[in-house]
Chain A
Amino acid sequence: MELRTSLRQTAAARWKHAFTPYLFVLPAMIVIFAFIIYPLIMVFRESMLKDSLLSAMGAQFVGLDNYRELLHYPNMGTIAGHSVIWMGLGTGFTLLGGLLVGLLLSNDWPLNRLLRGVIMIPWVLPVVVSATVFRWMLNSESGIINRFLQVIGIIGKGIPWLGVPSLAMLSVVLVIVWRLVPLASMIVLGAVQAISKNYYEAASIDGASSWKQFWHITLPFLRSSLVYIFLINLIWITNNIVLILVMTNGGPNSSTETVATFVYRLAFDSFNFGLSNALGVVNALFTLLITGIYLIVFRKSWLVR
């Protein structure tokens, strides 16, 4: 009898031990399921429906037909190419810019105290405001950037930065980089300030140059931060539509039309929610793939050791 009671108590304790942690995370799991997992499932489900709001037939299950239709949709290949350029240049320049600015701000220069606060302004401004202001600034007729270049004699006539396909993408990329570099640089700054000065003192005593100190001390300590900066910016940039819609509306010649802006157009211009969701799923999977590759390539930087 005592043995049985003891066994029962042990089993109960084991169950309690095993399940208590799950009880603590249960509220968070419910929230994640309700607001993230469930919508994702719904998006995936909708992507397999022929769901045009204008169709009298209502939503019909069509399997992977929407995905097949995407392959033959006008300009889809070009749009995907633009997305890769937008994502690649935007993320790459943000990473480099954030690293450079973060390192500069980490110096104990008097002006840096002011700059560390001021530099966050582009990040704090609403995207739509930044986009509108840059659209004006880049205008070939009345934009201050063209006027400045004319005054210092670099150009004669104003350049339509947002009106020429080859320049429009570069222009919107530079604006998104301008907006995202501040946060990236703050993350780098925080990581640099966390590195113990002892490493640098020891390296100096051993005669290591500034470049070697950066390469062998600073950069290894920054790797996990850089992975984070890369991932978060990749996702933000890939899914950013406001900047492009306000600055160029996807033009000229669809040269700044990306997958994300096209997801929006399919849904709200064409009312074709099935196709829009299918493209959204493809976009998410592509982002996930890039993220996965990046994490695997740079696994040494972030894996728990």
Chain B
Amino acid sequence: MRRISILTVMTILVLSMVLAACGSNSSKDSGTSPNSGSTTEQPKQAGSSGDKTKLTVWKFGGTPAELDFYKQKVGEFNSQSKDVAVEWTNLPFQGKREKIIGAYKTNSLPDVVVLDAQSIPDFTGLGVIQALDDADKASADKWKGNFVPEIWDAVHYNNKLYGVPFFADVAPMLTLNTKILKDAGYVDGSGNVLPPKNWDEVIAYAKKMTTSDHYGMILPATNNLNDINMFEGLMYGNGGSWLTADEKQVGIDNPGVLDTLKFYKDLKASASISPGFAESNYLDAVTQFLQGKGAMILTMTWVGAIEKQVTKEKSVDYVVVPFPKRSTISGTLPPVGSLISPTTTIMMTKTTKHSKQAMAFIDFWTNPDNQKCFADGTCPGRIPALKASFDNPAFQKNNPEIYKAYKDGTLFKGAIHMPWFTGLTEMEPLLANAYQSVLQGKQSPEEALKQLSDQSKKVFK
């Protein structure tokens, strides 16, 4: 009897472990599978693919309009190319790391990947991608002059070119509801809206424009990467940084970062920001803005991409301008103009056996005609990577403020790529905790920054 009991207990315990293992897998499979929602474009000439080299491409993320454009262009490439047949697969952005690491571990990486440039250091360190100028320096040199230099620099790591960018998202920006600003009297002599000039003015504007119908400011402050990137944009713009100038130690304990936390605190104290700052991520927050629920919103440049994706009817009239800086820069490092993230960059994997064909496919995307989606308004809200795209009259008409800033030389003045170093992905959620603690009044900016600094030092090696 006793023996049976012990045996039964052991059996149930083992079964529990078995179930635990199964439970873990089923949870992951049901939701975070990188394949969920994926679509694959097979080359049309499947019958003749025996004559052609098959090139597999994984594209992570993208709006429906952009994915439609890529599909059309891949079709054109396949019909033009005599020796390459591209098999293009669209995959969710969120699952990129699992998908790529899984493929890396099982030696089944595709030939080409299209993802954000912020992944370059990690995937270079991992040995997933290879430098394009190592593979074909002549092509790399040929492309260089066609691209906006700051965006081109943002796809370089350790002085090597790792991808060709399609466009860039820039942070931080301030998106203004023109009607609300005009009604509040923030308008110049020509009838154009007058954006705030510094952080104090942002708070004053927000306070004045808060009514029972809308908030003065929508501040996306979740732990979503876009929201973190926007805070990073503000702190780098105020002379703060994650690291010290020599990039060898954590340097977040910087007055520039402290004052950025204080700016968030003051915005909250002005009772002009929406209470959902920690629940509505960038996409939700921009959607709320487009529905007229805020006079201003902290954004990146890709507001138009969301507008096209989520609103069927005409949304509010708005204008996107660079987020103003603090009246006096308080950080110890030179302030950066803005942070650039080429979120769609085409790269070649290190394991490809078809590097020549992969380079031919990458070269295809350097033709302005094959990136015109970002210039002619078909794929709105993106800052094109090719200089030629800015010459497109449709782009100039649809993005007058961006075009003006580009022509004035202010759009990318002092811009650098988004922060990237080993350990950053662990440290960024800690930054989100810091600004959320401050916004929720759980910690003072000083306490939050000290905790962030201490925790970051444990992570950064």
Contact = CB atoms under 8 A, between A and B. Distances in A.
A52 B24 CA distance: 22
A271 B30 CA distance: 22
A265 B225 CA distance: 14
Interface in A113-155: 126-128, 131, 138-142
Contacts, number: 174
A191 B122 CA distance: 53
A234 B98 CA distance: 26
B28 A235 contact: no
A27 B62 CA distance: 46
A42 B440 CA distance: 43
Nearest to B32: A242
Nearest to B456: A74
B375 to A, nearest CB: 33
Contacts of B293: 141
Contacts of B423: 270
A1 B4 CA distance: 42
A154 to B, nearest CB: 17
B455 interface: yes
Interface string B263-283: 000000000001111111100
A36 B280 contact: no
B397 interface: no
B30 A127 contact: yes
User: How extensive is the interface on chain A, given as a class?
Assistant: 35 or more
A238 interface: yes
Interface in B59-104: 97-98, 101, 104
Interface stretch (A59-67, A103-111, A162-170, A204-212): A162-170
B20 A252 contact: no
User: How extensive is the interface on chain B, given as a class?
Assistant: 35 or more
Contacts of B276: 139-141, 158, 160, 163
B280 A141 contact: yes
Given A160-B276, A232-B19, A287-B16, A253 B442 contact: yes
Contacts of B440: 164-165, 252-253
A74 B442 CA distance: 18
Contact of B31 (A75, A141, A242): A242
B122 A157 contact: no
B17 A236 contact: no
A238 to B, nearest CB: 7
A250 B17 contact: no
B436 A252 contact: yes
A288 interface: yes
A77 B41 CA distance: 47
Interface stretch (A5-13, A213-221, A291-299): A291-299
Nearest to A54: B125
A36 to B, nearest CB: 5
B17 A304 contact: no
A190 interface: no
Interface in B1-25: 4-5, 8-9, 12-13, 16-21, 23-24
Interface string A152-196: 000001101111110000000000000000000000000000000
9 contacts: A36-B21, A40-B21, A54-B126, A128-B32, A141-B276, A161-B279, A164-B440, A239-B23, A299-B5
